[in-house]
């Protein structure tokens, strides 16, 4: 397995569905401009999943809200918060019951798309229903 620098203070997102690492970066709002030291390792072999992506971000401890948003693109992702080189908290991403300000409605005729309103969705089974147009979508369609 590829060795990546151990982080001192930050977040490790493990068990990301292979190919979804970049989407997770988008969800976390991290890009070239944010200046964080980031390691994204793609297509790592994993016993459980076949292949997975792993993301390490130095200097950022991500919130529960962001952790759950990761579940949209990768339901089995796990999030480890690291302080002083030690894992201090492990969180499992879970699909939130409702989304506010996370996700965009994919329906081009939806009023939220036309007025650039913040997304509002509620979970029904494994799908989200848009609070504006009432259509349902798969979690990954909202990102």
- Give buried/exposed letters for 94-103 (b at 16+ CB in 10 A, else e): eebeebeebb
Which tokens belong to 74? 């990768």
Cβ proximity to Zn ion: between 5 and 115 the closer is 115
Asked if 133 and 105 touch (Cβ cutoff 8 Å), the reply is yes
Cβ proximity to Zn ion: between 12 and 105 the closer is 105
Cβ proximity to Zn ion: between 59 and 106 the closer is 106
Cβ proximity to Zn ion: between 32 and 115 the closer is 115
User: Does the protein bind Zn ion through residue 12 (CB under 5 A)?
Assistant: no
User: Does the protein bind Zn ion through residue 105 (CB under 5 A)?
Assistant: yes
Looking at residues 26 to 55 of the shown chain, list those that interact with Zn ion (rule: CB under 5 A): none
The residue within the footprint of Zn ion, chosen from 55, 132, 139, 142 (CB under 5 A), is 132
The residue within the footprint of Zn ion, chosen from 41, 107, 136, 143 (CB under 5 A), is 107
User: Does the protein bind Zn ion through residue 130 (CB under 5 A)?
Assistant: yes
Residue 69: which H helix or E strand, with range?
helix 64-70
Which tokens belong to 92? 């499992």
Size of residue set near Zn ion by CB under 5 A: 6
CA distances from 15 to 34, 45, 52, 135 (A): 24, 10, 6, 30
């Amino acid at each position: 397995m590829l060795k990546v620098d151990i982080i001192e203070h930050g977040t490790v997102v493990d068990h990301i569905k292979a190919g979804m690492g970049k989407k997770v970066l988008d969800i976390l709002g991290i890009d070239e401009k944010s200046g964080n030291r980031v390691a994204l390792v793609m297509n790592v072999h994993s016993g459980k999943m076949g292949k997975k992506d792993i993301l390490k971000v130095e200097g950022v401890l991500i919130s529960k809200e962001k952790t759950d948003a990761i579940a949209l693109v990768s339901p089995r992702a796990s999030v480890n918060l690291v302080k002083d080189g030690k894992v201090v908290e492990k969180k499992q991403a879970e699909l939130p019951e409702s989304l506010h300000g996370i996700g965009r409605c994919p329906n081009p005729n939806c009023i939220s798309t036309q007025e650039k309103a913040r997304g509002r969705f509620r979970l029904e089974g494994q799908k989200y229903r848009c609070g504006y147009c009432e259509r349902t979508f798969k979690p990954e369609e909202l990102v």
